[in-house]
């Protein structure tokens, strides 16, 4: 087992999502976990057949142990699958490699709607963003709803995992990155901005926006100009504009 193994592992759960993942030859599926309490069902046989045909290790667990693996006993349906996602990394791994000055990272700050998180990931991957700083707490977890809304792009996404956001942002600051807060009242526009160094753009949650703890760490504020008295944009739309602003800007 490589030292990076744990950070790159996504534990997928639920029968249909697991079957779909096993059918996708582009995914690096490692171990299939089954609850010994599972009763026979057509889709379970299909899951096992696909796993065998791909030479994937199959392990049986007690119902309780499987719930601990999936971290979602209520919705795992007795099935979990380890998938190695090559672009996943820890915050330490991200910061230990050289970071290009043009790198843009998105940070999720209390984004709890899985639909939005999935759309953010899809837009971020499409726009070539350098990373998505993803706290294990306070953000919709990387489950089936996020995967569906990401249109399958989560598996390729540069997810930078951390425990909570504020300490990870402090680590980024210590490594010379800018922390940018999007703020409707900021005089400087995202679109006119030419960042001189790598930057983390904080995306606030649907209800409370960017948290105070995060805002106090920001080194710069930028606004997205809005017409028609509109006060805010959907957070996934904001993510896309940040991602593409780098490509679009002159």
Interacting residues with a copy of itself (CB under 8 A): 119, 122-123, 125-128, 151, 153, 156-157, 191, 224-234, 236-237, 240-241, 244-245, 247-250
Computed from CA positions of residues 150, 125, 19, 72, in that sequence, does the dihedral angle turn out positive or negative? negative
Question: What is the total residue count of the chain?
Answer: 250
Alpha carbon distances (Å) from 196 to 56, 104, 130, 176, 177: 46, 11, 15, 11, 10
**106 vs 165 by CB, closer to a copy of itself:** 106
Q: How far apart are CA 6 and CA 29, in angstroms?
A: 14
Smallest distance, a copy of itself to C-beta of residue 6, A: 23
Q: Tokens standing for 106? A: 């998105």
Smallest distance, a copy of itself to C-beta of residue 124, A: 9
Smallest distance, a copy of itself to C-beta of residue 63, A: 36
Q: Tokens standing for 145? A: 């709803």
Q: How far apart are CA 179 and CA 199, in angstroms?
A: 6
Q: How far apart are CA 180 and CA 158, in angstroms?
A: 19
Smallest distance, a copy of itself to C-beta of residue 192, A: 9
Nearest to 180 by CA among 115, 239, 227: 239
Smallest distance, a copy of itself to C-beta of residue 245, A: 7
Smallest distance, a copy of itself to C-beta of residue 206, A: 11
**138 vs 152 by CB, closer to a copy of itself:** 152
Q: Which residues contact 65 (CB under 8 A, 6 or more apart)?
A: none
**1 vs 185 by CB, closer to a copy of itself:** 185
**51 vs 89 by CB, closer to a copy of itself:** 89
Q: 195, 102 in Cβ contact below 8 A? A: yes
**119 vs 200 by CB, closer to a copy of itself:** 119
**189 vs 216 by CB, closer to a copy of itself:** 189
């Amino acid at each position: 087992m490589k030292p990076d193994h744990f950070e790159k592992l996504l534990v997928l759960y639920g029968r249909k999502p697991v079957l779909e993942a096993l059918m996708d030859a582009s995914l690096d599926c490692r171990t299939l976990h089954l609850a010994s309490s599972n009763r026979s069902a057509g889709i379970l046989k299909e899951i096992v057949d696909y796993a065998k045909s791909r030479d994937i290790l199959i392990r049986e667990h007690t119902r309780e142990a499987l719930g601990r693996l999936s971290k979602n006993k209520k919705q795992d349906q007795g099935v979990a699958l380890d998938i190695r996602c090559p672009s996943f990394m820890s915050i330490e791994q991200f910061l230990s490699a050289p970071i290009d000055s043009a790198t843009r990272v998105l940070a999720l700050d209390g984004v709890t709607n899985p639909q939005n998180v999935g759309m953010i990931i899809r837009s971020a991957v499409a726009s070539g963003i350098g990373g998505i700083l993803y706290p294990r707490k306070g953000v919709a977890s990387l489950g089936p709803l996020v995967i569906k809304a990401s249109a399958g792009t989560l598996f390729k996404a540069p997810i930078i995992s951390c425990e909570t956001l504020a300490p990870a942002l402090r680590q980024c600051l210590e490594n010379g990155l800018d922390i940018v807060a999007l703020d409707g009242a900021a005089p400087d526009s995202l679109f006119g901005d030419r960042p001189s160094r790598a930057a983390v753009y904080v995306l606030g949650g649907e209800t409370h926006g960017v948290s105070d703890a995060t805002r106090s760490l920001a080194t710069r504020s930028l606004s997205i100009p809005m017409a028609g008295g509109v006060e805010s944009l959907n957070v996934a739309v904001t993510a896309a504009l940040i991602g593409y602003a780098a490509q679009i800007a002159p």
